[in-house]
């Protein structure tokens, strides 16, 4: 099959689909081809504007026909792109389809950065297939080891029940990819708390991925949606709820088989939180503090590697984190090739309160802005960087608490002279504001603080707080009223 498109997009995750939707709305007369290796595409639903810059939304998987029926000028091809021939402006898929394009956007996402590749006992989690594999193994598991201290690990240790979890983190506090040690302290009592009520699964029609014969083994499906852990059965084979043991300031030193441990006469730790655990583990892990734990398997929740290896013949400029570098128009260094979402690394000079993190919200914002830029480029017009890149915002849930992160929420790159203001009520809320040079630079808001809109404005409008900062977190002062 030979197709011709004004705009082509590679990847059916949030980045690619948002790019296709925006292109279609901006330019209904053009023809757009989206090629995706996964049989289902991701769409954003239930979008709620929490404040001017904070959005919350659900991510749903839909069949490709959904996009084609809602956007008449979009054609979706279910195949993996094997070759990007940027000189001749042609894409070739592994099943022989070729797509000529004028502008193309690469939205091929990332894959889990796994601590040990090709070890049958080490799993990474990214797409539906990988989480199903995790659930299958968990059913028969007595103990798992979770390595990593970011989003996936934080959500997993909270969700897994009926199975002991050894959570091995390289930092002194939990969830450090998102929050500071103070917030970690706030969350700590939740780690082993019995879940009183199970959260209701969202009532949505779930589509399932077809057996993906077209998807090569080294290409993952789209990253999972927000309720990936909530709606899934994550129960091991032990009686009881939560049993999480945290090992701080460690990394994995070695992986052994049980007989190797026995031969060497090494001691296996047994936190013995469940009664009937015996030492007949399929795999053992030695941590850098010398402790050895046996487990049924290991989850490596250690970050994302952008899929930038796929089209390397094009000599893309690659950033240190492995992403394809893009400028402030989402253009790569290769003519007429754009990139958006987890695949790319923002390589413009960022606004003072913005940082890149590989998140849905940013994949959506980048997909949308890349589309605007592609349209402008086709008609030789200019675009200015979208205002969503002025302020970092992220809204999520950890341990069933609402979490909002704003600006330089962990003081990233601020250097000396930061003042931290804190408000902490155990089990209710944690508020951290970072002030530098009299101005609010970032904030962590956990719980129903209702401060997000005001804090967002304080950061963006660069309000001088020198005289007011003593009262900023005073619960008896309505700061929204004060700054109105």
Ligand X SMILES: NC(=O)C1=CN([C@@H]2O[C@H](COP(=O)(O)OP(=O)(O)OC[C@H]3O[C@@H](n4cnc5c(N)ncnc54)[C@H](OP(=O)(O)O)[C@@H]3O)[C@@H](O)[C@H]2O)C=CC1
CA–CA dist 79, 96 (Å, integer): 9
Residues 243/142, Cβ–Cβ less than 8 Å: no
Cα–Cα distance between 82 and 73 in angstroms, integer?
24
Contacts with ligand FAD: how many residues (CB under 6 A)? Answer: 40
Residue number, 99 or 435, with CB nearest to ligand FAD: 99
Is 74 a binder of ligand FAD (CB under 6 A)? no
How near is the Cβ of 423 to ligand FAD at its closest, in Å?
A: 25
Q: Which is nearer to ligand FAD, 281 or 338 (CB)?
A: 338
Structure tokens at 353: 């309160």
User: With contact defined as beta carbons under 8 Å apart, do 48 and 376 qualify?
Assistant: no
Least distance CB 475 / ligand X (angstroms): 27
Binders of ligand FAD among residues 319 to 358 (CB under 6 A) are 341-343, 358
Candidate segments 103-111, 141-149, 181-189, 455-463, binder of ligand FAD by CB under 6 A: 103-111
147: contact with ligand X by CB under 6 A: yes
* Comparison of 229 and 288: residue with beta carbon closer to ligand FAD: 229
When asked if residue 10 is in the footprint of ligand FAD (CB under 6 A), the reply is yes
Nearest alpha carbon to residue 279 among 269, 289, 291, 287? 269
Q: Give the interface segment with ligand FAD, choosing from 102-110, 282-290, 373-381, 440-448 (CB under 6 A).
A: 102-110
Q: Is residue 80 a contact residue for ligand FAD (CB under 6 A)?
A: yes
Which positions from 173 through 202 interact with ligand X, judged by CB under 6 A?
Answer: 176-177
Cα dihedral sign for 38, 39, 40, 41? positive
3-state secondary structure 187-228: HHHHHCCCCCCCCCCCCCCCCCCCCCCCCCCCCCCCCCCCCC
Q: How many whole angstroms separate alpha carbon 98 and alpha carbon 81?
A: 9
Question: Which pair of tokens denotes residue 215?
Answer: 């998807």
Q: What is the residue-wise DSSP string for 395-426?
A: EEEETTEEEEEEESTT-TT--S-EEEEEEEET
Asked if residue 151 binds ligand FAD (CB under 6 A), the reply is yes
Count CA atoms within 13 Å of residue 23 on its CB side.
33
Distances (CA, A) of 253 to 118, 259, 261, 284, 296: 17, 18, 14, 11, 18
Cα 133 to Cα 135: distance, rounded to the nearest angstrom:
6
Q: Which is nearer to ligand X, 361 or 373 (CB)?
A: 361
Region of 44-52, 70-78, 194-202, 296-304 interacting with ligand X (CB under 6 A): 296-304
Binding mask 251-280 for ligand X (x = CB under 6 A): x-----------------------------
Binding mask 91-120 for ligand X (x = CB under 6 A): ------------------------x-----
- Where on the chain is the footprint of ligand FAD (CB under 6 A)? 10-16, 35-38, 42, 80-81, 107-110, 125-126, 151-152, 219, 221-224, 226, 228, 307, 310, 341-343, 358-361, 363, 396
- Where on the chain is the footprint of ligand X (CB under 6 A)? 115, 147-153, 155, 170, 176-177, 251, 301-304, 357-359, 396
């Amino acid at each position: 099959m030979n197709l011709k498109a004004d705009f082509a997009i590679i990847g059916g995750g949030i980045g690619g689909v948002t790019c296709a939707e925006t292109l279609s709305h901006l330019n209904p007369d053009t023809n757009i081809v989206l090629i995706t290796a996964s049989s289902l595409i991701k769409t954003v639903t239930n979008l709620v504007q929490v404040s001017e810059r904070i959005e919350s939304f659900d991510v749903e998987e839909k069949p490709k026909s959904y996009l084609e029926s809602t956007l008449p000028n979009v054609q979706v091809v279910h195949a993996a792109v094997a070759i990007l021939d940027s000189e001749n402006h042609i894409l070739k898929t592994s099943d022989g389809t070729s797509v000529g394009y004028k502008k193309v956007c690469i939205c091929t996402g990332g894959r889990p950065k796994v601590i040990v590749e090709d070890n049958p006992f080490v799993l990474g989690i990214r797409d539906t297939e990988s989480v199903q594999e995790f659930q299958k193994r968990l059913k028969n598991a007595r103990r798992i080891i979770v390595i990593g201290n970011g989003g996936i690990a934080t959500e997993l240790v909270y969700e897994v029940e009926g199975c002991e979890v050894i959570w091995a983190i390289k930092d002194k506090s939990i969830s450090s990819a998102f929050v500071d040690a103070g917030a970690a302290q706030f969350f700590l009592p939740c780690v082993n708390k019995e879940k009183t009520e199970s959260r209701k699964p969202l009532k949505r029609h779930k589509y399932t991925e077809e057996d993906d014969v077209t998807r090569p083994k080294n290409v993952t499906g789209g990253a999972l949606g927000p309720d990936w852990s909530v709606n899934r059965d994550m129960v091991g084979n032990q009686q009881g709820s939560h049993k999480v043991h945290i090992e701080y300031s460690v990394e994995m030193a070695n992986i052994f088989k049980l007989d190797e441990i026995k031969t060497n006469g090494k001691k296996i730790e047994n936190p013995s939180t469940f009664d009937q655990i015996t030492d007949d583990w399929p795999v053992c892990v030695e941590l850098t503090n010398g402790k050895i734990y046996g487990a049924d398997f290991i989850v490596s929740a250690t970050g994302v590697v952008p899929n930038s290896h796929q089209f390397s013949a094009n000599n893309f400029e690659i950033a240190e984190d492995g992403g394809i570098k893009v400028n402030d128009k989402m253009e790569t260094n290769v003519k007429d090739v754009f990139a958006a979402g987890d695949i790319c690394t923002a390589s413009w000079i960022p606004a003072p309160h913005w940082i890149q993190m590989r998140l849905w919200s940013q994949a959506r914002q980048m997909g949308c802005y890349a589309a605007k830029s592609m349209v402008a480029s086709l008609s030789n017009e200019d675009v200015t960087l979208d205002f969503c890149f002025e302020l970092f915002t992220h809204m999520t849930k950890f341990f069933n608490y609402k979490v909002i992160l704003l600006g330089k929420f962990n003081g990233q790159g601020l250097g000396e002279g930061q003042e931290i203001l804190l408000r902490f009520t155990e089990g209710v809320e944690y508020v951290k504001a970072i002030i530098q040079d009299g101005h609010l630079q970032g904030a962590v808001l956990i719980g129903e603080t209702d401060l997000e809109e005001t804090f967002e404005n304080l950061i963006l409008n660069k309000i001088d707080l020198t005289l007011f900062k003593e009262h900023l977190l005073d619960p008896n002062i309505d700061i929204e009223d004060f700054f109105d």
